[in-house]
Structure 1
Amino acid sequence: MRTSIATVSLSGSLTEKLDAAARAGFDGVEIFENDLLASPLTPEEIRARCADLGLGIDLYQPMRDVEAVPEDEFARNLRRARRKFELMRRLGADTVLVCSSVRPHAVDDDALAAEQLSRLADTAREFGVRVAYEALAWGRHVSTYDHAWRIVETAGHPALGTCLDSFHILSRGSDPRGIEDIPGEKIFFLQLADAPLPAMDVLQWSRHYRCFPGQGGFDLAGLLRHVLATGYDGPLSLEVFNDVFRQAEAGPTAVDARRSLLLLEETVGRAPLPGPVVPTGVAFAELVTSDAEPLTALLRALGFTRTARHRGAPVALWEQGEARILVNTGPAVRRDGGRLAAIGLESPDPAGAVRRAEALLAPVLPRRRPAGDAAPEAVAAPDGTELFFCATGRPERPDWRAGFEETARPAPGVGVRGIDHLALTQPWHHFDEAVLFHRGVLGLDAQESVDVADPYGLLRSRAVAGPDGGVRIVLSVGAAPADDTLHAQHLALATDDVVTAARRFRAAGGSLLPVPANYHDDLAARFDLTDGELETYRDLGILYDRDARGVFRHCYTRTVGRVFFELVQRDGGYRGYGAVNAPVRLAAQHAVRGLTGG
């Protein structure tokens, strides 16, 4: 199907928005009136620009407060409309969006609304324009799609149809099954937007919190199936009002938007995408640093051994159990002390995983390894993290370790079995995009979003994971752009005995994050723990959580650069990440940074 996006959904000038939409692969755009008014280009120049970019102008919008008004006011509205229709002819747009009136003096009279909309459509037809009437969820008298359709049906004008907007329909709790009663040829336009499900005024909700399909809580696939059942063959268009998108760069936002439509089309059986290849485990995590000593000292204390060195690059492999960490000290590394730059994901079909990623507009990374090196295929996540698709130890496929020369055998460590999960801090404007990427491209399941109290704001967090827990990634973002650098990335290491692991780490010279005594006093009030158990947790800074499935015990190292480690013990079927303890951990990290000046 044709895809389109409203220019109001992107940031920047009109020309920047058009360029971004074209690069992302959209077929057309909705021109938002304010974007045109602020543009130095004439309508003819905008039309030519769109043609050069391969974009159609699918809609001009919005025309407001037209219908069900006193006759003298409607006469003024017709005069205004005639000027807009002439502009649309110059622009090359043939459909205009007319929103249901919100004016206080609009009359609650469906017959009058139908009669005036019919006269508006008469005028529009003189210019080759169609009128798509849309019910705003906060419309004064017309606020539901079925009510708008009854008025259009009563008018019975060939140039008058309806526009369906998923936000206005689903935010009011309307039943979308009734859409199938509308003839497909009378649905002149379809606008799609998702949204979280908060309790707030619907206008505020609409203007600030819409998001792309798959990033909110609406059943857009169900609504789209009802629309397609009518025979509708127009474009799928995105109209999203969102404070983040209005500040973010237009190019990545447009790609995210296009990806969301591809995934929605796949859900309803209209996009033949390569199927998802769900990763089954973590092959490695790559840390980059300009000064390896603090990071390697931390790895040694954690029980890791440097087992191999890459033959052609300054990259060392550290191992313990099934946990593998690469330390990269290449010349291009930023001088920020250390960060998580790449993740190797075990994949049953690496080539298929890349085909899926490429079809969903993820950048495929060039293979930079020397000739003869078995470099795995890789793509870039929205935050720039490189994702490698690996087949570790499978003889039928190249092994990413082929370029490494063994230097030592792993020694007994602190009891780390593997990587339990990774936590990635996202740029403030990429959080929803990152969740959609990991769900759509990698096929991971997303848990509910969690807001965590930080001493200086809120931290938003959402976990994505494979069905068996072999891959777990926690995505998080601060509440404001200024918070991005405050929250480091971290690697959680799985162990069967976190107490023993923590003691061995400390005995090897490692420093555990100190936890306030007040936390453990509260822990004693919330859980029935033995005196000896509680004192052990207090001594080692171990945090504790329990749910209906099992128990979670975890503790943290100090931060090196922008990386720290977590030792975790999962007992039973515990599936969470200790989110209840995150505020304490964040406060403790802030306190340590304040003491050290780092």
Structure 2
Amino acid sequence: MRTGIATVCLSGTLKEKMQACAIAGFDGIEIFEQDLVTSPLAPEDVRKMAADLGLTLDLYQPFRDFDSVEEDLLAANLRRAEAKFKLMSRLGMDTILVCSNVATASIDSDSLRTEQLGRLAALAGDHGVKVAYEALAWGKYVSDYEHAHKLVEAVDHPNLGTCLDSFHILSRNWDTAPIEAFSPEKIFFVQVADAPKLSMDVLSWSRHYRVFPGEGQFELAKFMGHVVRAGYSGPVSLEIFNDVFRQSDLERTAVDAMRSLIWLEEQSAKWLDANAPVLATAGAGNDSAGNGSAGSGAAAPKAAGRRRYPMELATLPQVAEPAGYNFAEVRAADSKVLETVLGQLGFEFNGRHRTKDVQLWSMGHARVIINEQAPAHAEPAIAALGFDVESPVIAAARAQQLKAPAVPRKTQANEEIFQGFAAPDSTEIFLCQGSPDGTAAWTREFGEGLEVPPPGATAVIDHVNLAQPWQHFDEAVLFYTSALALEPQPFAEVPSPTGLVRSQVMLTVDRSVRLVLNLAPLMQQDGATGPGSTSGTGARRTYQEHIAFAVDDLVATARDCKARGLEFLQIPANYYEDLAARFGLAPDFLATLQELNLLYDRDADGEFLHFYTATVGSVFFEMVERRGAYDGYGAPNAPVRHAVQYDQLSRTT
């Protein structure tokens, strides 16, 4: 699959954008007109630079409001078009995007549109240019891609075709199956964009909230499957209007964009395989089967062979989802407070690594590494996560093909070699050889006999909550989806004293891995003078993250922790009054919850008890007990936790 990206997706100058696209591995680019107009580079310089970078210049865009106009305006539009065709010749480009008219002064007449598009196609032919006509979702009279295609067919000129844009099609919930009936010679260009499902006008939705494939909720694999079945073999190019992307580091955004196309290519191949038209008899020609859409309801005979398409879709090394957490790592220059908290929680100190400044603490199957190899004065923070996987080497190869930077682990003789890579928020991800009994061979490096959890030990890492920088939240969702096969759940928004916290749960089907990504408001520290402030001497703001451990009996665990002197997050009495009103809990049980600062939630499937420790640096810990089939995270309690933490942080600054 030939990959492309519109320059409008990225921040920076045209020169910087082209360099970033080449570094990320794109085959070609679309030049957005404004990027060229504002560039000091002459068209000939852009052409040479693209050639030097190995980039093709695939599409010049946009050309707006051409059709459905009065004759005098048409003449002006044709003059404008000819000027662009001559410019494209200097750039070495042969395809231009023409959008359906959105102006109110246009005329609703398909015969007029056909005549005017025909004149444009003839002029384009004189200059060796192809016109890709696109139905904008908010077009005045042409907003449906099938309508645009019918106009293209009516003109019947070799220099006029259609551009299929997934946003304009899927935002209007148009059926994509009819694409398969399009002649591939008339599909001049394909653009893809994902988006969250939002209730707002489609123009604003398009201009501000598009995201890369895999970061939204559109059925892009199905869309691409129909495009492939139609016989299209040209570029598949990203066109993303997003306020965040255009403020972010352009090289990083370009890599994220490339990752999204790699992921989409794989998902499209899977969709085609799962919905493959079958040949009626062995050796039957391609014309004998299936341009119909998937899910037509007809029971197909067993396939004697499968169709081949002009566009070849590559797949990645296939991996199973992780079997569980192997460990969590916290890095700190001074680990004394961290060691105290882990001991009070009931973790056992298992020793120091034989060659590194690293400690191992464990409770049942839950392992925490304290890494003291940190910069001076670095506060405790989650630095790495280990996952049990079936084949670490294959899983690492998949991640690297998805542009994840490798993170090597320095080893000496007889030490475990971990496959590792970095997540978008710089958390290091290590892949460990999974074991059904929870053993971990690498723990021998801390002392003999540690690889086998003690008999009857049941504590595990229940979930990890990672805070994501605002400009990389969508990138993180795609990363964990594509590289670790975690499934994103519908996101939620939780109120806090500093604003709404967007929370995105990523998990495995069996819930053995639960990873929560938070787009959190920035918490203030060290001299900040107000909510969200960056003023004041030494003002600094930080995120908070946590690791949650599941136990069988939280009340007993909490009593033991209290006896060991653990500092619990102090829950206000108002919370327990509200709890009594909501659930009608037995008085003695409610009193126990309040005595131990435990929080409680209940749904139709079960109950959830949990408590939090005070924050150490930017990390805190949570202990949980799941009763029945409760599958959540105590979401109604999250505002309480945020408020208490905010109050404590404010009192320490």
TM-score (norm 1): 0.96
CA distance in 1, matches of 2:369, 2:480: 22
Structure 1 equivalent of residue 249 of structure 2? 249
- Structure 1 residues 152, 45: closer, same or farther in 2, change over 3 A? same
Structure 2 equivalent of residue 462 of structure 1? 504
1:386 to 2:428 alignment: yes
1:295 to 2:338 alignment: yes
Query: Is 2:132–2:161's contact at 8 Å kept on the other side of the alignment?
Result: yes
1:432 to 2:474 alignment: yes
1:569 to 625, 645, 651: 625
CA distance in 2, matches of 1:480, 1:30: 36
Q: Partner of 2:200: helix, strand, or coil?
A: coil
Query: Is 1:308–1:406's contact at 8 Å kept on the other side of the alignment?
Result: no
1:513 to 2:556 alignment: no
- Structure 1 residues 336, 398: closer, same or farther in 2, change over 3 A? closer
Structure 1 equivalent of residue 304 of structure 2? none
CA distance in 2, matches of 1:358, 1:425: 23
1:499 to 2:541 alignment: no
- Structure 1 residues 393, 105: closer, same or farther in 2, change over 3 A? closer
**Alpha-carbon offset, residue 392 of structure 1:** 6.1
- Structure 1 residues 480, 304: closer, same or farther in 2, change over 3 A? closer
**Alpha-carbon offset, residue 485 of structure 1:** 4.4
Query: Is 1:414–1:504's contact at 8 Å kept on the other side of the alignment?
Result: no
Structure 2 equivalent of residue 369 of structure 1? 411
CA distance in 1, matches of 2:343, 2:416: 28
1:324 to 2:324 alignment: no
Query: Is 1:390–1:399's contact at 8 Å kept on the other side of the alignment?
Result: no
**What is the aligned length?**
595
Q: Partner of 1:60: helix, strand, or coil?
A: strand
Structure 2 equivalent of residue 126 of structure 1? 126
Deviates more, 1:174-183 or 1:584-593: 174-183
Structure 2 equivalent of residue 356 of structure 1? 398
- Structure 1 residues 151, 594: closer, same or farther in 2, change over 3 A? same
Structure 2 equivalent of residue 40 of structure 1? 40
Structure 2 equivalent of residue 478 of structure 1? 520
CA distance in 2, matches of 1:147, 1:412: 68
Deviates more, 1:515-524 or 1:456-465: 515-524
1:300-311 paired onto structure 2 within 5 Å: 300-311=343-354
Structure 2 equivalent of residue 136 of structure 1? 136
CA distance in 1, matches of 2:249, 2:576: 45
**Alpha-carbon offset, residue 507 of structure 1:** 1.6
Deviations 1:388-446 (A, max 9, x none): 11126699x99323432469999999987121111111111111111111111111122
Which AA in structure 2 matches 1:472? R
1:338-357 paired onto structure 2 within 5 Å: 338-357=380-399
1:213-252 paired onto structure 2 within 5 Å: 213-252=213-252
Which AA in structure 2 matches 1:534? L
Deviations 1:477-528 (A, max 9, x none): 1257997944311000111111111121122111111112222211112113
**Alpha-carbon offset, residue 129 of structure 1:** 0.8
CA distance in 2, matches of 1:416, 1:229: 51
Q: Unaligned stretches of 5+ in structure 2?
A: 270-312, 525-531, 533-539
**Alpha-carbon offset, residue 229 of structure 1:** 1.4
**Alpha-carbon offset, residue 238 of structure 1:** 0.7
CA distance in 2, matches of 1:375, 1:393: 16
**Alpha-carbon offset, residue 540 of structure 1:** 1.9
1:17 to 2:17 alignment: yes
1:450 to 2:492 alignment: yes
Q: Partner of 1:22: helix, strand, or coil?
A: helix
CA distance in 2, matches of 1:481, 1:17: 33
Q: Partner of 2:459: helix, strand, or coil?
A: strand
Q: Unaligned stretches of 5+ in structure 1?
A: none
2:603 to 529, 533, 547: 547
Q: Partner of 2:470: helix, strand, or coil?
A: coil
Structure 2 equivalent of residue 535 of structure 1? 591
Q: Partner of 2:595: helix, strand, or coil?
A: helix
Q: Partner of 2:611: helix, strand, or coil?
A: strand
CA distance in 1, matches of 2:128, 2:520: 49
CA distance in 1, matches of 2:265, 2:113: 35
Structure 1 equivalent of residue 191 of structure 2? 191
Q: Partner of 2:174: helix, strand, or coil?
A: coil
Task: Give identity over the alignment, percent.
Answer: 51
Structure 2 equivalent of residue 92 of structure 1? 92
Which AA in structure 2 matches 1:296? E
Deviates more, 1:458-467 or 1:359-368: 359-368
Deviates more, 1:492-501 or 1:386-395: 386-395
Greater relative CO (CA pairs within 8 A, separation 6+): 1
Q: CA RMSD in A?
A: 2.2
CA distance in 1, matches of 2:590, 2:522: 37
CA distance in 2, matches of 1:178, 1:471: 40
- Structure 1 residues 526, 222: closer, same or farther in 2, change over 3 A? same
Q: Partner of 1:441: helix, strand, or coil?
A: helix
Structure 2 equivalent of residue 60 of structure 1? 60
CA distance in 2, matches of 1:571, 1:408: 30
Deviations 1:279-326 (A, max 9, x none): 111111111001111111111111112112111111011111111111
Query: Is 1:196–1:209's contact at 8 Å kept on the other side of the alignment?
Result: yes
- Structure 1 residues 410, 265: closer, same or farther in 2, change over 3 A? closer
Query: Is 2:388–2:435's contact at 8 Å kept on the other side of the alignment?
Result: no
**Alpha-carbon offset, residue 153 of structure 1:** 1.3
Structure 1 equivalent of residue 314 of structure 2? 271
1:586 to 2:642 alignment: yes
